[in-house]
């Protein structure tokens, strides 16, 4: 098992490195100069020089990549191109903010300080959603699988088919229309601030969490159902039933225990969609998290912020998948003793 764990960790580290090359390469090693691409028509000699200086464009590409990665590992994600000390916020600025005038006072805001509170907000959103998602999809998926081809199964399938088919922003907008516009029960946007109490913040979180949950639940329920169904149709479950074991024992010790590995993998994979969903949901509700920050940074072509957020997301995804695989090794006797 130790060999497997070491090997798997090595693969994870290699994947993360490869992704860091892709993220860095895609945003930096493009034809032409990044400074020109970022500024476009607003380019002036002064602003070009400022951006070239901020991105250390005078250095060679491998050198820049190495120092970028080194700084990232030490929690220093560089300086934002769009946000300046005077404008402060991520949303408040566009690339044209850096003009020749401001180039005289090159006071940039560090990316880390820009995305710090966004990390917390996104973690809250993703955490609450996962806490609800896992038991709910497990319950619905298992129930649908055990009642396969009966009314409950068809009802669950149909519901997941319809809700899961819709883009997150459609689900979110429908919820806003119903709960914020028509019945006026909940706020339509989630402008969370640090001054809010937990109670106030909870009200802002309801619609984003429900939207994210609705779109995720459909997919995960379907996959959990497939996993449980595959096990419950296997020969050893038939054998257990035929040898007269009680149905509750068959369910607990044979079906659920054996579909555990697939289920763990389902949740690990679903993290990837969750990040996609988070980007959309945060934009719909103007929730100040990493997703909406990424969208703003991409619109403003604030490359250091894009790189930092993407690398962070990729790292979280890879670590969660790594942990899921470890858990699988641990839960599979054949692998545990290997």
Q: Find the shortest distance in angstroms from Cβ 170 to other proteins.
A: 5
Site for other proteins in 116-175 (CB under 8 A): 148, 161-162, 164-170, 173-174
Half-sphere exposure of 225 (CA within 13 A, CB side): 23
Q: Does 287 bind other proteins (CB under 8 A)?
A: no
Residue pair 303/55 in contact (Cβ under 8 Å)? The answer is yes
| Closer to other proteins by Cβ: residue 187 or 245 | 187
| Closer to other proteins by Cβ: residue 19 or 97 | 19
| Closer to other proteins by Cβ: residue 98 or 306 | 306
x/- binding map, residues 26-45, to other proteins, per CB under 8 A? xxx-x------x--------
Q: Find the shortest distance in angstroms from Cβ 274 to other proteins.
A: 8
Q: Find the shortest distance in angstroms from Cβ 266 to other proteins.
A: 9
DSSP string, 22-56: HHHHHHHS-SS-HHHHHHGGG--HHHHHHHHHHTT
Residue with tokens 């054949």: 334
Single out the segment in contact with other proteins by CB under 8 A; choices: 52-60, 103-111, 125-133, 316-324: 316-324
Binding-site residue total for other proteins (CB under 8 A)?
60
Give the integer Cα–Cα distance in Å for 284 and 35. Answer: 31
Task: Report residue 337 as tokens.
Answer: 């003793």
Q: Using the rule CB under 8 A, which residue among 82, 90, 222, 261 binds other proteins?
A: 222
Q: Does 188 bind other proteins (CB under 8 A)?
A: yes
Spatial CA neighbour of 262 closest among 142, 165, 177 = 142
Q: Using the rule CB under 8 A, which residue among 49, 226, 326, 327 binds other proteins?
A: 226
Q: Find the shortest distance in angstroms from Cβ 160 to other proteins.
A: 10
Single out the segment in contact with other proteins by CB under 8 A; choices: 17-25, 67-75, 122-130, 237-245: 17-25
Residue pair 150/225 in contact (Cβ under 8 Å)? The answer is no
Sign of the alpha-carbon dihedral angle for 144, 145, 147, 150: positive
- Alpha-helical (H) ranges within the chain are 2-28, 34-39, 45-54, 61-73, 100-103, 111-146, 151-165, 168-175, 198-232, 235-242, 247-249, 257-284, 290-300, 303-331, 333-336
Q: Find the shortest distance in angstroms from Cβ 192 to other proteins.
A: 19
Dmax (CA) for the chain in angstroms is: 84
Residue with tokens 């493009």: 30
Q: Does 177 bind other proteins (CB under 8 A)?
A: yes
> 244 in helix, strand or coil?
coil
Give the integer Cα–Cα distance in Å for 331 and 322. Answer: 14
Q: Find the shortest distance in angstroms from Cβ 148 to other proteins.
A: 8
Sign of the alpha-carbon dihedral angle for 224, 230, 235, 238: positive
Q: Does 303 bind other proteins (CB under 8 A)?
A: yes
Q: Find the shortest distance in angstroms from Cβ 104 to other proteins.
A: 27
Q: Does 276 bind other proteins (CB under 8 A)?
A: yes
Q: Does 54 bind other proteins (CB under 8 A)?
A: no
Binding site for other proteins (CB under 8 A): 15, 18-19, 22-23, 26-28, 30, 37, 148, 161-162, 164-170, 173-174, 176-177, 180-181, 188, 222-223, 225-226, 229-230, 233, 269-273, 275-276, 279-280, 283-284, 294-295, 297-299, 301-303, 306, 310, 313-314, 317-318, 321
């Amino acid at each position: 098992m130790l060999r497997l764990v070491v090997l798997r960790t090595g693969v994870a580290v290699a994947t993360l490195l490869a992704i860091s090359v892709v993220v860095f390469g895609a945003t930096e090693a493009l034809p032409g100069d990044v400074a020109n691409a970022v500024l476009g028509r607003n380019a002036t000699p002064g602003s070009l020089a400022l951006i070239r200086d901020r991105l250390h464009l005078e250095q060679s590409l491998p050198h820049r990549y190495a120092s970028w990665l080194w700084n990232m590992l030490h929690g220093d994600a560089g300086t934002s191109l769009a946000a300046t000390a005077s404008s402060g916020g991520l949303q408040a600025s566009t690339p044209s903010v850096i003009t020749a005038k401001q180039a005289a006072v090159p006071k940039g805001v560090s990316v880390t300080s820009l995305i710090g509170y966004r990390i917390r907000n996104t973690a809250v959103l993703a955490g609450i959603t996962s806490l609800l998602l896992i038991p709910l999809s497990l319950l619905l998926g298992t129930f649908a699988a055990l009642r396969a081809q009966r009314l409950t199964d068809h009802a669950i399938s149909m519901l997941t088919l319809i809700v899961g088919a819709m883009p997150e922003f459609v689900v979110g907008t429908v919820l806003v229309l119903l709960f914020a516009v028509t019945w006026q029960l909940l706020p339509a946007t989630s402008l969370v601030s640090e001054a809010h109490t937990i109670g106030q913040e909870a009200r802002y979180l309801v619609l984003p969490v429900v939207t994210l949950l609705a779109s995720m639940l459909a997919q995960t329920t379907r996959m959990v159902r497939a996993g449980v169904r595959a096990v419950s149709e296997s020969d050893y479950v038939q054998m257990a039933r035929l040898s007269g074991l009680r149905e509750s024992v068959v369910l607990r010790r044979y079906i659920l225990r054996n579909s555990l590995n697939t289920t763990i993998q389902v949740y690990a994979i679903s993290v990837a969609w969750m990040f996609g969903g988070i980007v959309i949901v945060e934009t719909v509700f103007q929730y100040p998290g990493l997703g909406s920050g990424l969208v703003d940074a991409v619109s403003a072509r604030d490359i250091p912020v894009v790189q930092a957020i993407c690398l962070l997301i990729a790292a979280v995804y890879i670590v969660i998948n790594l942990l899921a695989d470890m858990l699988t090794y641990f839960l599979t006797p054949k692998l545990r003793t290997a």
